[in-house]
C-alpha cells in the first residue's frame, strides 16, 4: 500500500513529531492551514473511524485530547476535524484528525460556513433519518 501516513508511522517519511503512543502518532501537518496545524493518526492503516478497533480508537482520541491541549496552550483555540471517507473531503484514505489553530481573523468561519447551499429538511425527513440511524 502506498499510504503517506503509513510511511510516516513507519519512519519512512520524516515528520515533525509532537508525541506518539504505541498505537498513534501526532505531528505537524506538512501543508498547514495555520501555524501549529497538527495531525493525529493511528499507526495502523484504517480508512474510516468505524474500521478501527475500540482500543485503537481510544488510543487515537486519547492522544487527540492530549495534543489539542498542547496546541491550545500555544495558539489559544483549535478546530478539531475529521473527514471520515472520501465523500466527506478525506484526501488521504487513512484516518487522521486535524488540529487547526484558529483565530478570529483567520477568515475560516464556523463549520456551517463550509456549505454555501445549506439544505432545508422537513420534520418528516428529520424523523426518518433519526429512525434509520437508531435502528442500526
pLDDT in tens, 55-89: 999 999 999 999 999 999 998 899 999 999 999 99
Say which of 37, 94, 96, 98 is annotated catalytic: 96
pLDDT in tens, 108-119: 888 888 888 888
At 29 the pLDDT is 97
Catalytic site includes residue 96: yes
Q: Could you report how far apart the first and last alpha carbons of the chain are, in Å?
A: 32
CATH value at residue 75: 3.30.428.10
At 105 the pLDDT is 85
Give the chain's domain count.
1
pLDDT in tens, 31-47: 999 999 999 999 999 99
37: containing domain:
4-135
Amino acid at each position: 500500500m502506498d499510504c503517506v501516513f503509513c510511511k510516516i508511522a513507519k519512519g519512512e517519511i520524516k515528520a515533525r513529531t509532537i508525541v506518539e503512543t504505541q498505537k498513534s502518532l501526532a505531528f505537524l501537518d506538512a501543508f498547514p492551514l495555520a501555524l501549529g496545524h497538527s495531525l493525529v493518526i493511528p499507526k495502523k492503516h484504517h480508512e474510516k473511524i468505524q474500521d478501527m478497533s475500540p482500543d485503537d480508537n481510544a488510543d487515537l482520541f486519547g492522544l487527540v485530547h492530549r495534543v489539542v491541549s498542547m496546541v491550545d496552550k500555544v495558539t489559544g483555540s483549535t478546530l478539531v476535524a475529521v473527514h471520515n471517507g472520501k465523500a466527506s473531503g478525506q484526501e488521504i484514505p487513512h484516518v487522521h484528525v486535524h488540529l487547526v489553530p484558529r483565530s478570529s481573523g483567520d477568515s475560516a468561519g464556523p463549520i456551517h460556513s463550509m456549505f454555501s447551499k445549506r439544505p432545508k429538511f422537513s420534520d418528516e425527513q428529520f424523523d426518518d433519518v433519526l429512525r434509520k440511524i437508531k435502528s442500526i
